[in-house]
Amino acid sequence: MNIKIVTDSTSYLPHQLREEYDISVISLGVTFDLETFQEEEIDNETFYDKMANSKTIPSSSQPSPMDFYNTFEKLIIAKNSVVGIFISSDMSGTYFTALMAKKMIIEKYPEAVIEIIDSRSNCMELGFAVLAAAKAAKAGASIKEVLGQALFVVTRSRFLFVPDTLEYLQKGGRIGGAAAVLGSLFQIRPILTVIDGKTALLSKFRKKERAIQEATKIFLEDVRQKGLGEVIIHHINCKSEATRLATLVEEKLGIKLSVYPIGPVIGLHVGPGTLGIAYYTQNE
């Protein structure tokens, strides 16, 4: 029996990799007032232009139980086992909705094998776990081995990111209004990360450039101590800055880096201009 991998749209895996490893992606949604889009159906340029011209910050929504049910059922009917790896349950209800859909499938197909993993993160920190599982599945690994590869990455991954402004974090309730005002006044830029499935403050600096330098330093020290698995540079609508950061890291490590955009659901919470480094190490 083949094993198929399912994830959600906040992994931001390039379409080429999805196709190469036959990864199914279930979309979250974004809403501007009364207008709702599936994240997978709106391109980043259109979304961020729309957000820049909107008087309010859009909201995000998780997939419905039937979105998961339909995807799972199609794979189960085709005689596959399923491994689903999703955005942190502390950031979205997506994981719990996947569990609900799994229960519905098992009631109808008692022999179905579906395993669900909470990645405890998002973006390519989630994506790397998905890819590890998909590569193992394509190589013919058992479901236990596929789960093991995903969890290997989950326990060794890290996502460091620096927002361009505190406005979106404040409006989304991630920081207080006073902190946002003071941050803008003094040009304070935090380095954020994900700890225990939640966005957390790692440190803060007076300038964005300084924060990015420190995030890069933290990454390089992690690599020195623990060895590098994989790494990519993330950005929210600031590709030229991301390319410069990638070039800098390439010079330090002597490897080629990919640059991946972050889409609407995560982008609306952190804001355009954000740069990040997502990676995992060989050792914990």
What string of DSSP letters covers 137-185?
HHTT--HHHHHHHHHHHHTTEEEEEE-S-SHHHHHTTSS-HHHHHHHHH
Asked if 201 and 190 count as a contact pair (C-beta separation under 8 A), the reply is yes
Which pLDDT value is given to residue 165?
82
Which pLDDT value is given to residue 57?
83
Which of 103, 119, 154 lies at the terminal end of a domain, its last residue? 154
Please check whether residue 202 lies inside any domain of the structure. yes
**CATH number of 20's domain:** 3.40.50.10440
Q: Which two tokens stand for residue 237?
A: 């609508």
| pLDDT tens digits, 66-104 | 999 999 999 999 999 999 999 999 999 999 999 999 999
Positive or negative torsion for Cα 44, 45, 50, 51: positive
Please check whether residue 57 lies inside any domain of the structure. no
Asked if 276 and 220 count as a contact pair (C-beta separation under 8 A), the reply is no
Model pTM score: 0.94
Please check whether residue 94 lies inside any domain of the structure. yes
How many domains does the chain contain in total? 2
Which pLDDT value is given to residue 266?
95
> Which of these, 210, 184, 136, lies nearest to 218 by C-alpha position?
210
Domain extent at residue 224: 157-281
Could you tell me if 143 and 224 lie in one domain? no
Please check whether residue 41 lies inside any domain of the structure. no
Could you tell me if 225 and 249 lie in one domain? yes
Please check whether residue 44 lies inside any domain of the structure. no
Could you tell me if 95 and 176 lie in one domain? no
Which pLDDT value is given to residue 171?
64
Which pLDDT value is given to residue 61?
96
Asked if 98 and 84 count as a contact pair (C-beta separation under 8 A), the reply is yes
Could you tell me if 115 and 179 lie in one domain? no
How far apart are the C-alpha atoms of 284 and 275, rounded to whole Å?
A: 24
Please check whether residue 240 lies inside any domain of the structure. yes
Q: Which residues, given as ranges, of the chain have pLDDT below 70? A: 170-187
Positive or negative torsion for Cα 165, 170, 173, 176: positive
Which of 132, 154, 176 lies at the terminal end of a domain, its last residue? 154
How far apart are the C-alpha atoms of 122 and 234, rounded to whole Å?
A: 12
Asked if 42 and 264 count as a contact pair (C-beta separation under 8 A), the reply is yes
Write the single-letter amino acid at 49: D
Q: Which two tokens stand for residue 86?
A: 């999703």
Cβ partners under 8 Å of residue 157, min gap 6: 121, 125, 128, 129, 278, 279, 280, 281
Could you tell me if 115 and 209 lie in one domain? no
Which pLDDT value is given to residue 54?
86
Could you tell me if 137 and 161 lie in one domain? no
Could you tell me if 13 and 111 lie in one domain? yes
